[in-house]
Every structure is written in C-alpha cells, then in structure tokens.
Amino acid sequence: MALIASHVIFALQETRRFKVISIDNHHNSHPKSLQRVAQIARDALPPNASEQDKESTVIDAWTCDLRNREQVRNVFEHYGKDGIWGVIHIAAYKAVGESSEIPLTYYENNVGATISLLQIMSEYDCTRIVYSSSATVYGTPPVIPIPETTRMKADSPYGKTKVMDETIIEDVCSAEPTRWSALSLRYFNPAGAHPSGLIGEDPLGRPMNLLPLLSHMAIGLVKDSKLQVFGQDYPTPDGTCVRDYLHVVDLAKGHLLALDALGPDSHVFDTCPTNARFKAYNLGKGHGMSVLEMVDAMRKATGFDYKYEVIGRRHGDVPELVADPTLARKELGFNAPQDLVTMCRDLWNWQTKNPKGYGGPDEVLPAGATPTLHQL
Ligand SMILES: NC(=O)c1ccc[n+]([C@@H]2O[C@H](COP(=O)([O-])OP(=O)(O)OC[C@H]3O[C@@H](n4cnc5c(N)ncnc54)[C@H](O)[C@@H]3O)[C@@H](O)[C@H]2O)c1
C-alpha cells in the first residue's frame, strides 16, 4: 500500500531539504506506512542534527480525497498562496484488469481528480508537478527497448487514464509556458522494498503483480499450490513475458531528480520542441527479466519451492516491456543500480518482518468531511 509514495517520501526526507505534505484518502494505504517513513527518516538523522533537520522528518499527513475539491482546497489554503513549492502526483487506481470492469471509476479517480488538482494548484500558484505515469502508456510497443518518442497507445482504461493525464498536463504547460513546468515519469516495474523492512507493498486482497504474489505464496498468505504462468509461447528467450524490474528505492530517487529538474537551474526543458516546459522520462533499468527468471530469483531469496503451471495467454499481456532509460540517465542523472537479487532479498525482508503487511486499511474520510491533518 502506498508502495511508491512511501519510498518517495523517504527519498525526499533523506535529503533534509524538503518539508513533505502528504495527501491520501487511504483507499489503498495504511497511515502506519507514513509513521514508519517518519521513523526511518528520524533514525537516519545524525546526532548533531539541527532543529531544521528534525523538522524535515515531520510529515504533514492529510487524510483527504483528491476527488473532493473542497477537501483539497482546504489543504492548499492551510499553506496559502505560493506555500507549496511543487506537487508529486502519485495517487491513482492502478489495477489494469479492474479498470476494464469499472472504467468510469478509473476515469473519475485518475483523470477527474487530476484535473481538479491542477485547477487548485493553479489557484494557489503552485505550478510545478511531477506526475506518476507508467510504461502501460505504450501499449504494445513497436520497438524494444522503448524510447520516450514511442507513440502512446494504451490498451486498458487504466493505461488510457495515464495517457490522458500526461496530455492534460502537457496542455496546461503549453497554455501557460512561463507559469507551469511538469515532468512525467513512466515507471516500468517497481520491485523490492526499503532495506529496513519497515515499509513495503501491502496489497489489498490478492496481489495482482508477480513479485508480491510470489512473496505472498512463500509466506503462506496465498494458498495456491501452483503459480499460473500466462503463456510460454511468446517470442522471448524462455517463452514467458519479459518486464523491466527496478528497485523501488531507485525509482523513488528518480522523483528527487525530477523535482530538482523543475528548479531554476535546470536545463531539461532546453530541448523541448515547443515552449511548453513538459517532458516525459522512462524510469527503468533497461534490462528485461522473464516470469520464469523472476520465479527462480524469488526461489533463491525465499527458499520456497514454487511450482508453476503454464496456462493460456492472458488477454492484454504484452510480450516484452523494457525501457530505454538513456534520456533519464543523460538529462536527470537517473540510475537504477540495484540488481534483482537485492530486489528479491529486500521484498522478502519486508514480507517476513511484516507477514500481514501494515495490518489492514484505515478509515476513509467520508465525502464532504473536512480533511484531517496528522503530523507524524
Ligand atoms: N506499482 C506499479 O507497478 C506501478 C507501475 C507504473 C505506474 N504506477 C503508478 O504509480 C502510482 C503509485 O502506485 P503504487 O503502486 O504505489 O499504488 P498504491 O495503490 O500503493 O498507492 C496509490 C495511493 O494513492 C491513494 N489514492 C488513490 N486514489 C486517491 C484519491 N482519490 N485521493 C487520495 N488518495 C488516493 C491510495 O490510497 C494509495 O495510497 C500510481 O499512479 C500508479 O498508477 C505504479
């Protein structure tokens, strides 16, 4: 839960340069994840930490629904005009399969909420945004590894919400080029957890991604006797789908680089084709791993003897999604150095220290309620 956001918050706090304000409706997160992040940040402080350093480890955590304009406005009002330097917009629904069943819910939460967030940001003169996009914007890409210049052609409603949000944000940057600047980060497959084992992924119900599923199988939360592998007849080395996994801590650091690239000394927009200060970057390692290679890596990390059976291809699966990360490397200085062994080790460390995750979701703020602030 709040997998990426919790790691991003830590990456920001580790620098002691930011005051983090979090907005979450706890649809898929537990407030404990934020308490844990604050704890990791406090533990990382040197003994001679200044009051300002200590203050940078305090998170202003708002329980607030991005779909509720009044709640969001209340948060911005609390800090006043110009009071928030920039926004990293991570919140979204993210289940590809579910998005085909309830598309309107996805469009409302991922697109509607983004429009209203941008409007409120504008009202409060907060015009820098880093956006969480996804490799799903590429659909079935014509070229592997995938450069950012690849046309966007998402297959699922979820992927389309990411394409729409990127389009909307770019349009906003085009309309007011001297006011707005934005970077969209197209994540490939985040994996692992912070090495402390204090924060990690805690999926609601049955995990939908491969690594959390393997981790839940090994810890006994999922009782399946066999992993179902969707197709072994793809044009890949072992016939199973290939994805580009990167450590979530490396991914989180990419957000820090992106925020800095929205600052006054940045040159990332110098090469934009128009005067709109908008750019998208792939965040991936640039190496693919097949399903069977992942199973093997998790077997080594957990000692669990995974059995698997190959069933038919799953509708919508793309054979290979591997990033060309050259642009992010060159322009942002992004790197994802941590290897698969480390990702699996850190995931298993989190899972064994928290066999039941954070312990279930917390209360969700009812519509119309005033957002609540907790300082953690
Ligand atoms: N995890 C992945 O594999 C992956 C890959 C590519 C892109 N992404 C994108 O990264 C982002 C984060 O993914 P994650 O895996 O951390 O997901 P997550 O579900 O763990 O985190 C999303 C957070 O947003 C919150 N949220 C959702 N709707 C909200 C709303 N209306 N108001 C306030 N809070 C709301 C949830 O409670 C949760 O804390 C998403 O935008 C997702 O689309 C994720």
Backbone angles phi, psi at 196, to 5 degrees: -65, -25
Asked if residue 128 has its Cβ within 6 Å of ligand 1, the reply is: no
Concerning whether 158 is annotated as a catalytic residue, the answer is yes
Q: What local confidence, expressed as pLDDT, does residue 317 receive?
A: 86
Query: What is the CA(89)–ligand 1 centre distance, in A?
Result: 9
Query: What is the CA(105)–ligand 1 centre distance, in A?
Result: 14
Confidence of residue 368 (pLDDT cuts 50, 70, 90): low
Spatial separation of the C-alpha atoms in residues 335 and 253, rounded to whole Å: 9
Q: How big, in percent rounded to 5, are the helix, strand and coil portions of the chain?
A: 40, 15, 45
pTM value is 0.96
Give the model confidence (pLDDT) of 23-40 as tens digits: 999 999 988 999 999 999
Segment 237-262 shows an average pLDDT of 98
Which residues lie below 8 Å from residue 101, measured CB to CB, with a gap of 6+?
none
Give the model confidence (pLDDT) of 203-231 as tens digits: 888 898 999 999 999 999 998 889 999 99
% of the chain residues with pLDDT over 90: 89
Taking 60 as the threshold, does the pLDDT of residue 277 lie above it?
Answer: yes
Query: What is the CA(64)–ligand 1 centre distance, in A?
Result: 14
Q: What local confidence, expressed as pLDDT, does residue 366 receive?
A: 62
> Which candidate in 107, 158, 281, 358 is catalytic?
158
CA distances from 226 to 222, 281, 336, 352 (A): 10, 37, 31, 21
Backbone angles phi, psi at 237, to 5 degrees: -55, -45
Asked if residue 66 has its Cβ within 6 Å of ligand 1, the reply is: yes
Query: What is the CA(5)–ligand 1 centre distance, in A?
Result: 8
Spatial separation of the C-alpha atoms in residues 297 and 284, rounded to whole Å: 19
% of the chain residues with pLDDT over 70: 97
The one-character DSSP state at 240 is S
Spatial separation of the C-alpha atoms in residues 331 and 328, rounded to whole Å: 5
Give the model confidence (pLDDT) of 238-247 as tens digits: 999 999 999 9
Which residues lie below 8 Å from residue 31, measured CB to CB, with a gap of 6+?
61, 63, 362, 374, 376
| Environment class of 55 (CB within 10 Å of its CB; exposed 0-12, middle 13-18, buried 19+) | exposed
Give the model confidence (pLDDT) of 96-146 as tens digits: 989 999 999 999 999 999 999 999 999 999 999 999 999 999 999 999 999
- Of the candidates 177, 356, 344, 196, the one whose C-alpha atom is nearest the C-alpha of residue 277 is 177
Asked if residue 5 has its Cβ within 6 Å of ligand 1, the reply is: yes
Spatial separation of the C-alpha atoms in residues 7 and 53, rounded to whole Å: 19
- The pick from 10, 94, 136, 211 for probing ligand 1's pocket by mutation, whose C-beta has the most ligand atoms within 8 angstroms, reads 94
Among 26-30, 68-72, 194-198, whose mean pLDDT is lowest? 26-30
Q: What local confidence, expressed as pLDDT, does residue 364 receive?
A: 55
Question: What does the radius of gyration of the chain's CA atoms come to, in whole angstroms?
Answer: 20
Nearest CA residue ID for atom 9, ligand 1: 132
Spatial separation of the C-alpha atoms in residues 151 and 131, rounded to whole Å: 18
What dotted CATH number matches 3-375? 3.40.50.720
Spatial separation of the C-alpha atoms in residues 205 and 245, rounded to whole Å: 22
Taking 90 as the threshold, does the pLDDT of residue 2 lie above it?
Answer: no
Residue 135 · residue 188 · CB < 8 Å: yes
